[in-house]
Amino acid sequence: MKTASIIAALTLLLAATGVTGYKIVKSKNYGGVEENLHKVVSVIDGDTFYIKGDSDDEDIRVRILSAFAPEQKECYFEESKQALKDLIEGKEVRLDKDISGADDYGRLLRHVVLPSGAEKEDNILISEYLIRNGFAKNVVISPDVQHEQTLDIVESKAIKELAGIWGNCKDLPKYFNKEEITDAQPTDRNCIIKGNVGQRGMGEKIYFIPGCSPYTRTKINIEDGDKYFCTEEEAQENGFRKSESCPG
């Protein structure tokens, strides 16, 4: 049986059983890599949009991982929303799952890629585009850390060049303002394991030991339920699990 026939059969089977959860609009095969493309119906704000669902009256919300755009009434909200709208509305995008599936609001959590349409041209990672141009803040939340290093680099450049929000907003949006992020320090030098609950209700209880790639960037906000632990056993007893980014 040809590859195309196999893919078609699997797609129909999954759709019939309800396993897919959202409709595959179109499939392309470049270099043997299957890419499921989904048409963007509308943009809600600078980091959230709708794709077409399984029926005409069902659209599915998608939250772009790692990019936090301004909220309504915050500086640069309209500019960020328009930037995302100009980039993807009415177009087909690829949704790449990291670790998390959906948040508490039922939104799919995905890295979003706009294909170039040509094998020799670069695709556009939407979070990278938004952060590089100052339309969104880089907020990587464990365990979805796939593009962490890339986004750290482009955000540092955006801040240095005063791109977008960084150069146009006197009052920075909440998640752009470093003063809004509390970073409590350990009271015991032997208790330095960081237990992090996360942000915006999307956080799972994760702990980081020194040597984990996000350790130095993980902030501890006691009011959010974050805390320090002396041992990994103590962290686990409190409902935290070790980050997959940690060695060993």
For residue 173, pLDDT over 90 is answered with no
pLDDT for res 144: 87
pLDDT over threshold 60, residue 29: no
- The residue among 153, 176, 199 that closes a domain is 176
Query: Domain boundary at 125, 145, 176, which?
Result: 176
Residue with tokens 């150069």: 167
Q: Count the domains in the chain.
A: 2
CB 147 within 8 A of CB 125: yes
Question: Can you tell me the mean pLDDT for 39-57?
Answer: 90
- Residue 15 domain flag: no
Domain-located, residue 68:
yes
Same structural domain for residues 170 and 216?
Answer: no
Residues 33 and 47 in one domain: yes
**What would the pLDDT profile of 95-105 be if each residue is shown by its tens digit?**
999 988 888 77
Is residue 8 situated within a structural domain? no
Q: State the first-to-last Cα distance of the chain, in angstroms, to the nearest integer.
A: 42
Residue 16 has pLDDT above 60, yes or no: no
91 and 164 part of one domain: yes
Q: Sorting pLDDT into bands at 50, 70 and 90, what band is 126?
A: very high
Domain annotation covers residue 219: yes
Do 63 and 162 fall into the same domain? Answer: yes
Residue 23 predicted with pLDDT over 50: no
| Domain housing 138 | 22-176
Q: Based on the domain organization, do 167 and 196 belong to the same domain? A: no
